Structure formats: structure tokens, C-alpha cells
């Protein structure tokens, strides 16, 4: 579902953190934060 939602958005991106599901920000905060920093570093089109 995440990939489908990302595909509908301009410049949408879906990143899957293996072994985690809903509330991944609570179960894997370091991984989520790393992906967010990576995403925020990409210049806006």
C-alpha cells in the first residue's frame, strides 16, 4: 500500500524498513530518522 500511495504523489517515495510495520517510528526510530534526513537532503523540484 505504501508503494501505491507514493506512486500517486509527485516525487513520491516509499521506503520499507524490513521487520517493522505500523508505528515504525516507535519501533525503529533510528532507521526512520536516517531515511527522513536522506529525504530532506534531496532538493525540491
Rounded to an integer, what distance in angstroms lies between the CA atom of residue 13 and that of residue 6?
Answer: 5
Q: Are 23 and 29 in contact (CB under 8 A)?
A: no
In the predicted model, what is the mean pLDDT of residues 6-23? 92
Query: With bands split at pLDDT 50, 70 and 90, how would you rate the model's confidence at 44?
Result: confident
The reported pTM is 0.76
Look at residues 40, 17, 41 and name the one whose alpha carbon lies nearest to residue 30. Answer: 17
Confidence band for 21, pLDDT divided at 50, 70 and 90: confident
Amino acid at each position: 500500500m505504501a508503494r501505491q500511495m507514493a506512486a500517486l504523489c509527485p516525487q513520491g517515495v516509499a521506503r520499507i524498513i524490513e521487520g517493522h510495520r505500523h508505528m515504525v517510528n516507535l519501533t525503529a526510530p533510528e532507521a526512520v530518522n536516517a531515511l527522513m534526513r536522506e529525504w530532506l537532503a534531496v532538493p525540491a523540484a
